[in-house]
Amino acid sequence: MSEHDPTIFDAILAGDIPCHRVYEDDHVLAFLDINPLSRGHVLVIPKERARFMHELSEESAAALGRVLPKLCKAVMAATGCEHYNLLQNNGAPAHQAVFHVHVHIIPKFEDDSGLCIEWDSGSLEDSEHLTQAIREAIT
Ligand code: AMP
């Protein structure tokens, strides 16, 4: 699917296909991931149609941020998980498959089900220039 086509989340938002809805307000919908990485894997999406986080309005971003802690708390209470990852992919090379902004809440359990990450970290280089470049790019 192209990054510009309507996505399956548009169909869910329109009520054209079902989802296991766990939360909804004026700006946000949350539902169970259909192919969960672990029990209780939830997707939280803005109702605004935006492909990537950097395209999202401040209003929708704020609405997402406002509900995340209570949704995490609810997933913990419902599943008994004590640990979890939040994942938010932007772009196909960054493992985004559905081009509508979404945040994954992925419980991590003792049996190691959940998100598995190979964290191949490097050392910080060019830090002065990079810090300045990012500061100046903030609009
Ligand atoms: P991402 O790789 O970050 O774009 O993740 C997209 C997620 O959407 C995957 O975890 C899918 O399992 C999930 N997904 C795709 N279609 C549906 C659907 N109809 N209902 C619930 N989750 C879905």
* pLDDT tens digits along 23-50: 999 999 999 999 999 999 999 999 999 9
Give the ligand 1 atom nearest the CA of 41.
Answer: 10
> How many helices (H) and strands (E) are present in the chain, helices listed first?
3, 5
Q: What is the rounded distance in angstroms from the CA atom of residue 107 to the CA atom of residue 6?
A: 29
- Token pair for residue 12? 């869910």
Told to judge if 27 belongs to the known catalytic residues of this protein, a careful annotator would answer no
Q: Which residues line ligand 1 (CB under 6 A)?
A: 8, 19, 33-35, 43, 89, 95-98
**98, 101, 106: residue to mutate for ligand 1 pocket, most atoms within 8 A of CB:** 98
**What class, spelled out in words, does domain 8-137 have in CATH?**
alpha beta
Q: What is the pLDDT of residue 1?
A: 52
pLDDT, tens digit, 9 for 90 and up, residues 45-84:
999 999 999 999 999 999 999 999 999 999 999 999 999 9
For the chain, the structural domain boundaries read 8-137
Give percent of the chain above pLDDT 90.
95
Q: Out of 27, 41, 100, 102, which one is annotated catalytic?
A: 102
Q: What count of other Cβ atoms lies within 10 Å of the Cβ of residue 55?
A: 12
pLDDT, tens digit, 9 for 90 and up, residues 96-116:
999 999 999 999 999 999 999
CB 126 within 8 A of CB 91: no
CB 51 within 8 A of CB 3: yes
User: What sections of the chain are H helices per DSSP?
Assistant: 8-14, 58-79, 127-137
CB 50 within 8 A of CB 60: yes
User: Average pLDDT, whole number, for the chain?
Assistant: 96
